[in-house]
Amino acid sequence: MKQIAGGVTAAAGFEAAAVAAEIKYKNRNDMALIYSTHPCMVAGTFTTNVVKAAPVMWDKQLVETAPFVQAVVVNSGIANACTGQQGLDICQKEAQKAGELLGLPENAVLVASTGVIGMQMPLDRVCTGIEKLVAAKAPGLEAGLAAAKAIMTTDTVHKEIAVEFQVAGKTATMGGMCKGSGMIHPNMCTMLGFITTDVNISKEMLQKALSRDVVDSFNMISVDGDTSTNDTLLVMANGLAGNEEIIAEGADYDAFCEALHFITTYLAKKMAGDGEGATCLFETQVVGAATKEDARILAKSVICSSLTKAAIFGHDANWGRILCALGYSGAKFDPENVDLYFKSVSGEIQIFGNGVACAYSEEEASKILADPEVTVLVDMHMGNEEATAWGCDLSYDYVKINADYRS
Amino acid sequence: MKQIAGGVTAAAGFEAAAVAAEIKYKNRNDMALIYSTHPCMVAGTFTTNVVKAAPVMWDKQLVETAPFVQAVVVNSGIANACTGQQGLDICQKEAQKAGELLGLPENAVLVASTGVIGMQMPLDRVCTGIEKLVAAKAPGLEAGLAAAKAIMTTDTVHKEIAVEFQVAGKTATMGGMCKGSGMIHPNMCTMLGFITTDVNISKEMLQKALSRDVVDSFNMISVDGDTSTNDTLLVMANGLAGNEEIIAEGADYDAFCEALHFITTYLAKKMAGDGEGATCLFETQVVGAATKEDARILAKSVICSSLTKAAIFGHDANWGRILCALGYSGAKFDPENVDLYFKSVSGEIQIFGNGVACAYSEEEASKILADPEVTVLVDMHMGNEEATAWGCDLSYDYVKINADYRS
């Protein structure tokens, strides 16, 4: 497997487009289209929030029942959440419109929205946007890049990645893009994410691979603990790599899962590091846990702690807050046996062990915490299970962004 | 029942003192003593954090096993948490020292600490402080006020209250003080709280009353979701009101519980409204819930949402975030049936109903959100259960305070 340039248009047969439709933003692209020249198997995971946005309901139904899909229409600016029957009708009209223009049934067109909750979508501008998208769709990396930028809200960087790998003697490609910066606490997964591949894989195995993967990728990140109404992650596979269809576990399935995990982990970390107001990616690795679930719970508790996140922002080695966050996570352990380390490109130091602080240098610790990627390593000394979670620091800008997001 | 002046020294037989011991802070009082001239029944609730500070372990043991208690030594500046055996030894030495000077066994002296985690307590200065405290202890409201101020850390106001009420034909008094501003997400309860009363009540009934009460008072507040290592709430009852001992449920027990709830709710709201960096008290009332537990979960989810808290700080009626927080709380409901209102002294407006936004005035909503106490009222229309939770907004100052708390 090797990383290559591009994103959702890297795999054979995938095209994209981005246009300015003035859904809510002015003077920028705010709608995107992903299109496959051939029918795709699709798998998806969606928000666990009881309050589900209309596009989430539309896509869930399609992922469960549609024989194939071939396009996704995405907009930023308005989330089409808490919009009642009118919001659901809009989704259907978006799919109808795109379907008509692309020669597809409406149940082959997925939709996704991100932005302000509660506002109704302007149907006329959405439809005009879809007309422009279909006219503009094109293969190639530029089109994919434009799409990755059009779906951004408070994101400061676009997020895309692609890899090439071998499946059953054929060269296959997988690419993805996502957006997400605030309301990020996936379960599953506060974000919009789209992954495309030319691998030939059955719907059942595609969904299985995705559902397993998100537990240790997108579900291990958090920016602010708020699980969105719109979280959507879709994987589309059109089979153009020409490999024999993957219909069971085995070497081909493993190769597929490896590529998928590379893509999802990259995108998840990108999202965490671009959390609203973030100045760094804040990673917590838990090793030596009694169970895998404990490892996940402990790692997530640390990256979710507001106090710890604020200390990281201040480059303050306030490790007591980390121990505190481990302590209220819900996992059982003996604090006397925990070892804590700070790590970054600048070095690694132990800060806690045998129940008390180590004799570390505050200056060295602050230097580590000033790096753009900061890792807390926690050894629980209770077993062999591990997990890693990703978040970001808590800065003034998080407050600034969210005190007036709507205006 | 009527509110009267004072705090922990309001009830008969209770004295207090505050002194500057330079535990960590300079030029301010940082140690306090609460003393009862007569032996007290004691009840307590403590942090559920696996990482428990040394004073929590000391006090838990005393609350469970000591035949009576008569004093509490409190310090601010250092939390005596994550301090290993040395930290536990310090607690015992504090109790020994105070016991010697007060003529009490060491297991009649409770201790409590709040401040930085991980730092060892300076035993010499602590002991000197205890000597000064015992010399300075006095009855009267001034001594209680000084104690309430000495236990503050990042608090901006001291927190005390007292009430007078009738029990079995006798006039009784109850008073309390607490501190808490950051690391506030009680379960039970991120804070130090001390309640004193002259009521004659059995240890069993005292603990029962306290344990029931905190579920709807201190456990319903949150500033930042971080459950501290040091949370301690103690109630001491010395019996000097002269009422027949309360040993069972009934009218006297109910009168006691009513006074207790008045005190705990007042102190809990004071803590929430004085959350680190807070500009307002942010209350969420959930009515019409299917179960009491659902009502509590829903109310707490809203006041814990970083995005909602930031919107309140910005006086932005971003109600979608409230609905989102209800949705990920874990309680089941139909979003179509939820009604949302904003309330304050400035008025009340409905903002969401029948699954969509109401036609409310943004200007009127912003005016309500600019008040020092802001309430979100949520009617679930699923039953008759209610709960209220209290938090605060998320401001730049929360980040500022916590990015460099240790320095």
pLDDT tens digit sequence for A368-391 = 999 999 999 999 999 999 999 998
**Could you tell me which residues come within 8 angstroms of residue A370 by beta carbon, excluding any fewer than 6 positions away?**
A315, A346
Query: Quick one: how far is CA B286 from the chain centroid?
Result: 21
The pLDDT-based confidence of A227 (bands split at 50, 70, 90) is: low
B354 DSSP 8-state letter = T
CATH number of the domain bearing residue A395: 3.10.20.340
Copy the structure tokens of residue A174.
């997988």
Mutate to test the interface with B, among A402, A404, A405 (most CBs of B within 10 A): A402
- Identify the bridge partners of residue B313 per DSSP, sorted by sequence position: none
Find the CB nearest B225 among A52, A82, A225.
A225
Closest CA to B193 of B103, B271, B283: B271
Residues B268 and B325 in one domain: no
| CATH classification of the domain holding A163 | 3.60.70.12
Task: Give the chain B residue nearest A406 (alpha carbons).
Answer: B318
Minimum CA–CA partner of A186 in chain B: B328
Q: Quote the tokens at residue B94.
A: 């504090």
Q: How far apart are CA A362 and CA A348, in angstroms?
A: 13
Question: How many Å lie between the alpha carbon of B115 and the closest alpha carbon of chain A?
Answer: 11
**Position B224 pLDDT exceeds 70:** no
pLDDT band for position A226 (cuts 50, 70, 90): low
CB contact under 8 A, A320 and B79: yes
What token pair was written down for A30? 């705010």
Q: Mind listing the pLDDT tens digit for each residue in A75-133?
A: 999 989 888 899 999 999 999 999 999 999 999 999 999 988 888 999 999 999 999 99
Considering the domain architecture, whether residues B170 and B239 belong to the same structural domain is answered as: yes
Q: What are the phi and psi torsion angles at A179 (to 5°)? A: -135, 155
Closest CB from B311, B354, B400 relative to A403: B311
DSSP state of A218: G
Q: Are residues A317 and A345 in the same domain?
A: yes
Q: How far is B341 from chain A (nearest CA, A)?
A: 15
Highest-confidence range of B13-22, B46-55, B260-269, by mean pLDDT? B13-22
The fraction of chain B above a pLDDT of 70, given in percent, is: 95
> pTM, whole model, 2 decimals?
0.77
Question: Choosing from B9, B47, B114, B190, which is the catalytic residue?
Answer: B190
User: Which residues of chain B make contact with A332, given a CB cutoff of 8 A?
Assistant: 50
Asked if A406 reaches chain B (Cβ–Cβ under 8 Å), the answer is yes
**Which chain A residues touch B395 with a CB distance below 8 Å?**
399
Tokens of A51: 């309050």
Among chain A residues, the shortest Cα distance to B323 is held by: A51
3-state class (DSSP) for residue A169: coil
Q: Which of residues 124-143 of A touch B (CB under 8 A)?
A: none
A243 and A356 belong to one structural domain: no
CA–CA distance, B147 with B175 (Å, rounded to integer): 13
Same-domain check for residues B190 and B266:
yes
* Environment class of B124 (CB within 10 Å of its CB; exposed 0-12, middle 13-18, buried 19+): exposed
pLDDT band of residue A32 (cuts 50, 70, 90) is very high
**How far is it, in rounded angstroms, from Cα B259 to Cα B264?**
9
Question: Per-residue pLDDT for B184 more than 60?
Answer: no
3-state SS, residue A180: coil
Domain count, chain A: 2
- Examine the pLDDT at B186 and tell me if it is beyond 50: no
Mean pLDDT computed over B306-324? 88
B328 pLDDT band, cuts 50/70/90, is confident
Same structural domain, B309 and B183? no
Contact between B126 and B89 under an 8 Å Cβ cutoff? The reply is no
Cβ atoms of residues B374 and B291 within 8 Å: no
pLDDT of residue B198: 94
Task: Return the residue of A nearest to B117 by Cα.
Answer: A320
Number of Cβ atoms within 10 Å of the Cβ of B363: 8
CB A347 within 8 A of CB A368: yes
Q: Which domain holds residue A67?
A: 2-273
Among A85, A187, A328, the residue with its CB nearest the CB of B49 is A328
Helix (H) or strand (E) run with residue A284 in it: strand A281-289
Residues A42, A106 within the same domain = yes
How many angstroms from the chain centroid is the CA of residue A15?
Answer: 21
Q: Is the pLDDT of residue B283 over 90?
A: yes
CB contact under 8 Å between B320 and A116, yes or no, is: yes
User: What is the 8-class DSSP label of residue B185?
Assistant: -
In the listed set B251, B273, B295, which residue is the last one of a domain according to the structure? B273
Q: For the residues B286-297, what does the mean pLDDT come to?
A: 94
Write out chain A residues lying below 8 Å of B119, CB-based.
357
Interface of B with A in 315-374 (CB under 8 A): 316, 318-321, 323-329, 331-333, 335-336, 352, 354-357
Q: Tell me the backbone φ, ψ of residue A4, rounded to 5 degrees.
A: -130, 175
pLDDT over 60 at B182, yes or no: no
DSSP type of residue B240? T
Give the pairing of strands A109-116 and A69-78: parallel
Backbone angles phi, psi at A21, to 5 degrees: -115, 0
| Same domain (yes/no): B192, B331 | no
CB contact (8 A) between residue B116 and residue A82: no
ipTM: 0.71
Pairing of strands B109-116, B69-78: parallel
Minimal Cα–Cα distance from A223 to chain B, Å?
Answer: 10
B298 to chain A: closest CA residue: A50
End-to-end Cα distance, chain A: 44
Q: Are residues B170 and B285 in the same domain?
A: no
Question: Does residue A311 share a domain with residue A242?
Answer: no
Q: Does A206 touch chain B (CB under 8 A)?
A: no
Judge if A285 and A269 occupy the same domain. Answer: no
In the block, residue with structure tokens 């009708």 = A89
Catalytic (active site) residue A190: yes
Residue listed under structure tokens 């105070």: B98
Distance CA B201, CA B219 (A): 24
Nearest CA-CA distance, residue B178 and chain A, Å? 21
Contact B306 A226 (CB under 8 A): yes
> Which amino acid does the sequence have at A90?
I
What are phi and psi for residue B142, nearest 5 degrees? -60, -40
pLDDT of residue A183: 54
Report residue A16's pLDDT band, with 50, 70 and 90 as the boundaries.
very high
Residue A262, Ramachandran bin (φ over 0: left; ψ between -120 and 50: alpha; else beta):
alpha
| Shared-domain flag, residues A234 and A286 | no
